[in-house]
Amino acid sequence: MRKTVVLIALMVLTAMFASAGYAEVYLTREKAIKLALPISKEIVEEKLTLNKEQQERVRKKIGRKLKQEEYIFIVGKTDGKVDGYAIICNEIGKEMPITFIVGIKPDGKVRDVAIMVFRESRGSEVKDKRFLTQYRNKKSSDQIAINKDIRHVTGATLSCIAVSNGVKKALAVWEEFYGK
> Which tens digit of pLDDT belongs to each residue from 81-108?
999 999 999 999 999 999 999 999 999 9
Amino acid at 48: L
Residues constituting the chain? 180
Q: Is a pLDDT exceeding 50 seen at residue 57?
A: yes
pLDDT value at residue 93 = 94
Distance between CA atoms of residues 119 and 121, nearest Å: 7
Bridge partners, residue 6, by sequence: none
Q: Is a pLDDT exceeding 70 seen at residue 12?
A: no
Share of the chain above pLDDT 90, in %: 86
CA 91 from centre of chain:
6
Split at pLDDT 50, 70, 90, the class of 30 is: very high
Q: Is a pLDDT exceeding 60 seen at residue 150?
A: yes
Average pLDDT of the residues in 1-21: 47
**How many Cβ atoms from other residues are within 10 Å of residue 174's Cβ?**
22
Q: What are phi and psi of 147, to 5 degrees?
A: 65, 10
Q: How buried is 35 (Cβ within 10 angstroms: 0-12 exposed, 13-18 middle, 19+ buried)? A: middle
